[in-house]
A and B are shown apart, each in its own frame.
Chain A
């Protein structure tokens, strides 16, 4: 059941006010404002290059942005990295691996904030158990001592999800989490995140390419095109598909026409 309220009196989980950001001279996000309540499951959808990943990075404070981003009422520009990381975990699109850590070691790094102090502070029993639990939840217990460079793309994706969970955040940002996952794990992941949000008002904001999956999973959808919000609202508002057509329309139509033309031309050649 989706309750869409801009203001509920409390600070909510996250609030963006006229956020603008980009890389070098190019502005990718061109003034975005929205409000996220605790326990929301939000999918950001939109065509390629509309700034979905960039928006997530701005929320996580990984790139500089103009405008204000409030996390539980506090502007993130005033927060330290550790404070942000204690509230927000992020699953990035493409993780690159340069050194062969084991699955357990990698997920344990998610507990970084709880075990500062370098070599002189070994992880507590709680840390270790929690990490094992996270690994179990993503179904990787069998391979917990394998080196991550020997895993498949889907397994690796789940390793980093477990690492994000190990961070014990209030809000998880997912950048195309289902990218390398087969159907079974896509659905399992979504089910798991469903449970996770129902507990203690955890919040998920995810970028998804698969609109079906987005509709199925999210209770709110944020449609982004060309760095601006086309529509932000409850999922049932998107069912008729008109808004989606607006956002994706041009690309789809020209693509269809082009491919039709090419097909026709080659058909003519074949008959000649």
Chain B
């Protein structure tokens, strides 16, 4: 197990380095290490690297990779939480419509040009969080009222109804406000272009804190997979803990989406693959999902910006290309049993 964890950590560092190195301009690893060294540790000033390369590495590639990694990590942890609290391997923020809800919230902020006093820059993530949370409440309450036992099919269908509905509102909004349409479309598909240090500085700590909080609940997550009643009998205050966890999950997704737009399926694929390799215990699943999801997103972003270079694919399209068939596979292999 320890070897597997070390392997995951090393793998993530290599993938991040590749994410920084590969692009329209190929950059050797030495230069990246030199730049990071000079900027972070203050050693070997500039190290003979020309200004353009320096700017590409430090101002474009590194923030972009960090952002992709953080968003991927946040979404994956969010998915892992959803799956165990709803004891459903197919539940995720994306399938429950949280992402669409958050994008809708972000859409309102963009089109209305809202900026709350004091909060300023944080208005967008806050709107994402609130709308994401409202959607998950809506979808879960709707599923519960339709079907007390919260069957897999009910949850997925109600999530789908919610996300389709909210997506339609988003589309409506973008056709009413043509000047913001381009921005909104990007929100619906997800992208990491134009991400700078400002975004990293805001989102990275938020994601880190929320994931850190989640780590306090790993055993509750384990017990909740056996059902609420079982968890209660073992001593978990399930009514309270369940909502804390759903809150954390929605916050992770909501904030991530308000920075990057809707990126589907990572939250489904990452925890699932991690469980297959590392087992079900959330002590491992939560942190490794964060790492795996982060790497997955860095690679997806790498593909999105290089495959039809010089223009870019929305990263959501790349993850969906992998994720949608995977979703089908999980759904139907689960049904055969």
A residues with CB within 8 A of B: 57, 60-62, 80-82, 84-86, 88-90, 92, 95-102, 105, 109-110, 112-113, 115-120, 163, 167
CB-based contact B281/A98 at 8 Å: no
| Contact residues in B for A105 (Cβ distance below 8 Å) | 222, 279-281
Within the assembled complex, what's the spacing in Å between the Cα atoms of A66 and B27? Answer: 72
CB-based contact B230/A92 at 8 Å: yes
In the complex, given contacts A101-B280, A105-B281, what are 17 additional A-B residue pairs having Cβ atoms less than 8 angstroms apart? A60-B233, A61-B232, A62-B229, A81-B235, A82-B235, A98-B88, A98-B89, A98-B225, A98-B226, A101-B222, A101-B279, A112-B223, A112-B234, A112-B235, A117-B216, A118-B215, A118-B219
CB distance from B86 to the nearest CB of A (A): 9
The verdict on B128 contacting chain A, using a C-beta distance below 8 Å, is: no
CB-based contact B279/A102 at 8 Å: yes
Question: Contact partner of A80 among B223, B229, B237, B279, CB < 8 A?
Answer: B237
CB-defined A-B contacts under 8 Å, sample of 12:
A57-B229, A62-B232, A81-B238, A85-B233, A98-B225, A101-B225, A109-B219, A109-B222, A109-B223, A109-B234, A118-B216, A119-B215
CB-based contact B216/A120 at 8 Å: yes
The verdict on B199 contacting chain A, using a C-beta distance below 8 Å, is: no
The digit string for B92-104, where 1 denotes a CB below 8 A from any CB of A, is 0000000000000
Within the assembled complex, what's the spacing in Å between the Cα atoms of A117 and B216? Answer: 6
Which residue from chain A places its CB closest to the CB of B219 in the assembled complex?
Answer: A112
The digit string for B285-301, where 1 denotes a CB below 8 A from any CB of A, is 01100000000000000
CB-based contact B275/A167 at 8 Å: no
CB-based contact B287/A119 at 8 Å: yes
- Interface size, B (range): 20 to 34
CB-based contact A62/B233 at 8 Å: yes
Within the assembled complex, what's the spacing in Å between the Cα atoms of A113 and B231? Answer: 11
A interface secondary structure, majority: mixed
The digit string for B270-284, where 1 denotes a CB below 8 A from any CB of A, is 000001000111010
CB-based contact A99/B218 at 8 Å: no
CB-based contact A113/B235 at 8 Å: yes
| Contact residues in A for B320 (Cβ distance below 8 Å) | none
The verdict on B84 contacting chain A, using a C-beta distance below 8 Å, is: yes
The verdict on B217 contacting chain A, using a C-beta distance below 8 Å, is: yes
Within 8 A of A (CB), among B230-276: 230, 232-238, 275
CB distance from B262 to the nearest CB of A (A): 26
Within the assembled complex, what's the spacing in Å between the Cα atoms of A113 and B227? Answer: 17
Which residue from chain B places its CB closest to the CB of A84 in the assembled complex?
Answer: B235
| Contact residues in B for A163 (Cβ distance below 8 Å) | 234
Question: Contact partner of A85 among B88, B222, B234, CB < 8 A?
Answer: B234
CB-based contact A100/B280 at 8 Å: yes
B226, B227, B279, B286: most-surrounded residue (chain A CB, <10 A): B226
| Contact residues in B for A101 (Cβ distance below 8 Å) | 222, 225, 279-281
The verdict on B87 contacting chain A, using a C-beta distance below 8 Å, is: yes
Question: Contact partner of A116 among B84, B87, B219, B222, CB < 8 A?
Answer: B219
B87, B229, B233, B286: most-surrounded residue (chain A CB, <10 A): B233
A-B interface, 6 closest residue pairs, ranked by CB to CB distance from nearest: A85-B235, A118-B216, A99-B280, A119-B215, A90-B233, A98-B87
Within the assembled complex, what's the spacing in Å between the Cα atoms of A172 and B302? Answer: 56
Within the assembled complex, what's the spacing in Å between the Cα atoms of A110 and B222? Answer: 11
Question: Contact partner of A95 among B217, B230, B237, CB < 8 A?
Answer: B230
| Contact residues in A for B217 (Cβ distance below 8 Å) | 118
CB-based contact A81/B236 at 8 Å: yes
Within the assembled complex, what's the spacing in Å between the Cα atoms of A97 and B286? Answer: 19
CB distance from A146 to the nearest CB of B (A): 12
CB distance from A82 to the nearest CB of B (A): 5
| Contact residues in B for A99 (Cβ distance below 8 Å) | 84, 87, 89, 225, 275, 280
CB-based contact B89/A96 at 8 Å: no
Which residue from chain A places its CB closest to the CB of B84 in the assembled complex?
Answer: A99
Which residue from chain B places its CB closest to the CB of A98 in the assembled complex?
Answer: B87
| Contact residues in B for A81 (Cβ distance below 8 Å) | 232, 235-238
Which residue from chain B places its CB closest to the CB of A114 in the assembled complex?
Answer: B235
| Contact residues in A for B218 (Cβ distance below 8 Å) | 118-119
| Contact residues in B for A100 (Cβ distance below 8 Å) | 275, 279-280
Within the assembled complex, what's the spacing in Å between the Cα atoms of A89 and B232? Answer: 10
Within the assembled complex, what's the spacing in Å between the Cα atoms of A115 and B279? Answer: 20
Within the assembled complex, what's the spacing in Å between the Cα atoms of A119 and B84? Answer: 16
The digit string for B59-101, where 1 denotes a CB below 8 A from any CB of A, is 0000000000000000000000000100111000000000000
Which residue from chain A places its CB closest to the CB of B276 in the assembled complex?
Answer: A100
CB distance from B328 to the nearest CB of A (A): 19
| Contact residues in B for A97 (Cβ distance below 8 Å) | 226
Within the assembled complex, what's the spacing in Å between the Cα atoms of A81 and B232? Answer: 7
Which residue from chain A places its CB closest to the CB of B282 in the assembled complex?
Answer: A119
Within the assembled complex, what's the spacing in Å between the Cα atoms of A167 and B231? Answer: 12
Within the assembled complex, what's the spacing in Å between the Cα atoms of A101 and B282? Answer: 10
CB distance from B54 to the nearest CB of A (A): 39
CB-based contact B226/A95 at 8 Å: yes
| Contact residues in B for A112 (Cβ distance below 8 Å) | 219, 223, 234-236
Within the assembled complex, what's the spacing in Å between the Cα atoms of A109 and B236? Answer: 11
Within the assembled complex, what's the spacing in Å between the Cα atoms of A163 and B237? Answer: 18
A57, A62, A89, A109: most-surrounded residue (chain B CB, <10 A): A109
Which residue from chain B places its CB closest to the CB of A173 in the assembled complex?
Answer: B233
CB-based contact B219/A92 at 8 Å: no
B235, B237, B286: most-surrounded residue (chain A CB, <10 A): B235
| Contact residues in A for B235 (Cβ distance below 8 Å) | 81-82, 84-86, 112-113, 167
